[in-house]
Structure 1
Amino acid sequence: MMIFFKHAHNKRKDLSKEEKKIYASFLAERLYGTFTILVLNIGLLSDVENIGKKYALLAIITTTIGLVMASFFSKEMAHKVVHGKAMDKVKVRKTLASKVGIIMAAVPSLIFVSLSYFGLFNMKTALEITVVSEVITILVYVIRAAYTRGGTKLTRLISISLQFIVAAIIVAIKLFVH
């Protein structure tokens, strides 16, 4: 967990190669979770008049748990296929640390839909806040990814534009399926 706190203070250069690998895996899971939870919340928002608060909360909780379990299970299976054995304890810990990213992606939804469940927000407002929060999260990562070494303002703008288009396509495809 300290890896995430180190990075939060913009000390990426202080991370070891292994810590960077773990953090990159965490961010990948965070983004994957954000896309999935965003689409779930858009779906819930599109039918907000017909869904109950309990249903919305359970949908977010079960989707998050399902994502973590599927992600971990697939990682374990892939490791067994490639290496012919189960992951050792260190690899399991590192893999589980990356799965925290999925849980963190669901936090805004869990907070605001829970507040709605307890009557502090109406469901529509709670879902709108979470959708905006998730879109902002994706936008922040898109912008951050564009600021790599050696980029000019033009290349960054092109990178941000292309990545945002790709992100929009991912959401559109996921929405089309749902």
Structure 2
Amino acid sequence: MSDLPADRPAAGVSGPSPEMLEALRERLKERIYAAITMLAVVVGLAQNPHTRHATAALYVTCTAVGLWLATLVADAQAHRVVHQRLPDRREVQHFLFVSSPLLGSAAGPLVMVGLSAAGVLGLETALWVAVGVDVASLAAWGYTGGRRMGGGLLVSALAGLVDAAIGLGVVTVKLVAGH
């Protein structure tokens, strides 16, 4: 949750620029989209009794890299259409900064697959733990977002529950469609 700036800057220090706040907003949006997408992939892997460690790691990695590359291509194309020119170096750096959480969406599932490969727990269990962690992270983002917007504990908890419900909705759809 380090993508969010501190509530208040230190005395005598100005807060993040409007451009930085916008980049952080875009970055958080990408992180949430990636978590939801990865959730669907990991549920699919957990449901398949033939999934192996290498296959799970490959699918998780390819999903994250594919999302990242698709986002970069879409950003570059949209930029070119709107501005009628290729992005400059600063704009490319912005695209990379904003889209990098897409790659991070693979970290949790890959750690769990690695723990399973090391014999700490079974692969199916590891994948379901990764699903639970993703749903919990969505809830945490919702709660944190509610707090950052000035919501009290109840409103923030409700925001966290709504985000968790979205994650659980994805899990439910995958479970129903998978059988």
* Fold similarity call, TM over 0.5: yes
How far, CA to CA, are the matches of 2:177 and 2:17 in structure 1? 40
Give aligned-pair identity as a percent. 24
How far, CA to CA, are the matches of 1:127 and 1:141 in structure 2? 21
Which residue matches 1:51?
Answer: 51
Which residue matches 2:61?
Answer: 61
Which residue matches 1:29?
Answer: 30
For the aligned residues, what is the CA RMSD? 2.6
Q: Give ranges in structure 2 of 5+ residues lacking alignment.
A: 10-14
Report the alpha carbon displacement of residue 107 of structure 1 after superposing the two structures with TM: 0.7
Contact 1:44–1:127 (8 Å) recurs in 2: yes
Which residue matches 1:97?
Answer: 97
The CA deviation string for residues 116-154 of structure 1, in whole angstroms up to 9 with x for no partner, is 234343212221221111111000011122224454566
Choose between structure 1 and 2: higher helix proportion: 1
Report the alpha carbon displacement of residue 83 of structure 1 after superposing the two structures with TM: 0.9
SS of equivalent residue, structure 2 residue 87: coil
The CA deviation string for residues 52-95 of structure 1, in whole angstroms up to 9 with x for no partner, is 11111111111111010001111111111111111111011111
How far, CA to CA, are the matches of 2:138 and 2:4 in structure 1? 21
Report the alpha carbon displacement of residue 32 of structure 1 after superposing the two structures with TM: 0.9
Q: Which amino acid counterpart does residue 84 of structure 1 have in structure 2?
A: Q
User: Which shifted more, 30-39 or 15-24?
Assistant: 15-24
Which residue matches 2:130?
Answer: 130
Q: Give ranges in structure 1 of 5+ residues lacking alignment.
A: none
How far, CA to CA, are the matches of 2:94 and 2:175 in structure 1? 31
